């Protein structure tokens, strides 16, 4: 089956797999390169254990395409079967249920790397077998969630911010407080992510606290601020805002930078703002599970993905930011200077990765349930 991924690529964000896209492509099985979106709920066959030329990877939707898998196979002789997941939690549950299955490469986010390490699920990487770590931007060479990249290799990164219609807002938003200060004029034309940690974190940042606050009084204050804003919010959604903001039904939406870049390409009226007080900075990674049946192929995949030209092509083709500085230098200036994908360093100073909050998770969830159900 022939599919043009350059013109009909999946619209997906890093956290949620679009069910409509899945349904439309559920029959897709490109046997020549192993692209199988329809295998989301399947179980890898055990044949991979005996085949050094077969690599199973478990990844986010939108992070691979036919061109990528074909090139890897052409360069290495290894066929790739790419299964997709829609959340870190679903991925973890599946890996635990399968005992790892036949996956030799998995794409967890930063906080999930930490959790999988704690659970003893990941191989410590042999850096002598990896080529290209020196290509990474300095900020990604020693990440707090995985010091010295012992268990993971940064693959993509991004921020959370505000996508707004310049024809619908009286001035460009500079910070999260813009929503509260203009809630009357924006009433019914605001959406926030359907994500407790992102929404509570943004509000905490606006109040001068950490995105990952573990202070119950601070968390309560953030909830109270959201109660004030709630009447002006059209919905909590991580996906539907795209189809609403393009025709002008929404004025402003909270969303991920990679999604912002995609919709901005469809309308010159849309822009992205990274709030001045700070936001979340996420990282998705490559890891090798301890159950990996094909270590040689796993390291071949990591080395392939670290090649500057491969990373640059993916960034340009699939609209996500690369942590690879050598790849960044190969990008056209239009992409390098896109503030949605690559905010200036000064704008990142107040950003934080989302981190576990331990027992306070229940408090966050309790406030979230009250907020979204009222």
Checking DSSP bridges between strand 79-85 and strand 54-60, what pairing results, if any?
A: parallel
Residue 44's pLDDT band, with cuts at 50, 70 and 90, is: low
- Answer for the pair 44, 101: CB distance below 8 angstroms, yes or no: yes
What is the C-alpha to C-alpha distance for residues 118 and 135, in angstroms, rounded to an integer? 28
pLDDT at 225 over 90: yes
Q: What DSSP assignment string belongs to 3-42?
A: --TTTS-----SS---HHHHHHHTT--BTTTTB-GGGTT-
- Answer for the pair 372, 236: CB distance below 8 angstroms, yes or no: yes
CATH code given to domain 158-280+351-373: 3.40.190.10
Give the Cβ contact number of residue 27 at 10 Å.
Answer: 10
pLDDT at 21 over 70: no
Is 108 exposed, middle or buried (CB count within 10 Å of its CB: 0-12, 13-18, 19+)? buried
Q: Answer yes or no: pTM beyond 0.95.
A: no
CA dihedral 326, 132, 293, 149 (to 10 degrees): -90
User: Taking Cα atoms as reference points, which of 195, 216, 213 lies closest to residue 204?
Assistant: 213
Give the model confidence (pLDDT) of 227-257 as tens digits.
999 999 999 998 889 999 999 999 999 998 8
Higher pLDDT, 301 or 21: 301
CATH code given to domain 19-151+284-336: 3.40.190.10
The yes-or-no answer to whether 19-151+284-336 and 158-280+351-373 have a common fold is: yes
pLDDT at 37 over 60: no
pLDDT of residue 368: 95
CB burial readout 236-270, b (16+ within 10 A) else e: bbbbebbebbeeeebbbbbbbbbbbbbbbeeeeeb
Residue 85's pLDDT band, with cuts at 50, 70 and 90, is: confident
What is the C-alpha to C-alpha distance for residues 115 and 65, in angstroms, rounded to an integer? 28
What is the C-alpha to C-alpha distance for residues 360 and 365, in angstroms, rounded to an integer? 9
What is the C-alpha to C-alpha distance for residues 169 and 271, in angstroms, rounded to an integer? 11
What is the C-alpha to C-alpha distance for residues 136 and 179, in angstroms, rounded to an integer? 36
pLDDT of residue 238: 83
3-state secondary structure of 298: helix
So where are the chain's domains? 19-151+284-336, 158-280+351-373
CB burial readout 220-230, b (16+ within 10 A) else e: ebbbebbeebe
Q: What DSSP assignment string belongs to 52-114?
A: TTEEEEEEETTS--HHHHHHHHHHHS-EEEEEEES-HHHHHHHHHHHTTTTEEEE--BHHHHH
């Amino acid at each position: 089956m022939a599919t043009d991924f350059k013109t009909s690529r999946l619209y997906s964000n890093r956290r949620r797999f679009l069910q409509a896209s899945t349904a439309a492509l559920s029959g897709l099985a490109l046997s020549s390169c192993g692209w199988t979106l329809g295998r989301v709920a399947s179980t890898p066959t055990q044949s991979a254990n005996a085949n050094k030329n077969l690599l199973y990877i478990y990844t986010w939707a939108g992070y691979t395409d036919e061109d990528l898998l074909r090139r890897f196979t052409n360069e290495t002789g290894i066929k790739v079967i790419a299964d997709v997941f829609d959340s870190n939690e679903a991925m973890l549950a599946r890996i635990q249920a399968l005992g790892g299955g036949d996956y030799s490469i998995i794409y967890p986010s930063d906080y999930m790397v930490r959790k999988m390490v704690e659970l003893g699920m990941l191989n410590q990487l042999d850096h002598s077998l990896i080529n290209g770590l020196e290509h990474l931007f300095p900020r990604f060479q020693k990440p707090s969630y995985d010091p010295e990249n012992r268990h993971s290799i940064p693959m993509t990164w991004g921020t959370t911010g505000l996508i707004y219609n310049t024809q619908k807002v009286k001035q460009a938003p500079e910070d999260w407080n813009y929503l509260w200060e203009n809630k009357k004029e924006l009433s019914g034309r605001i959406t926030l992510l359907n994500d407790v940690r992102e929404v509570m974190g943004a509000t905490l940042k606006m109040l001068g606290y950490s995105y990952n606050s573990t202070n119950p009084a601070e968390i309560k204050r953030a909830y109270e601020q959201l109660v004030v804003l709630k009447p002006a919010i059209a919905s909590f959604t991580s996906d539907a805002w795209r189809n609403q903001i393009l025709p002008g039904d929404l004025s402003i939406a909270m969303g991920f930078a990679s999604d912002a870049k995609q919709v901005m390409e469809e309308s010159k009226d849309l822009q992205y703002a990274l709030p001045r007080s700070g936001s979340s900075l996420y990282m998705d990674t490559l890891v090798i599970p301890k159950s990996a049946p094909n270590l040689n192929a796993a390291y071949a995949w990591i080395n392939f993905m670290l090649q500057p030209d491969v990373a640059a092509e993916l960034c340009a083709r699939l609209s996500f930011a690369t942590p690879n500085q050598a790849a960044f230098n190969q990008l056209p200036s239009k992409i390098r200077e896109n503030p949605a994908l690559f905010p200036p360093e000064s704008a990142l100073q107040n950003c934080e990765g989302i981190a576990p909050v331990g027992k306070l998770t229940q408090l966050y969830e309790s406030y979230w349930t009250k907020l979204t159900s009222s």
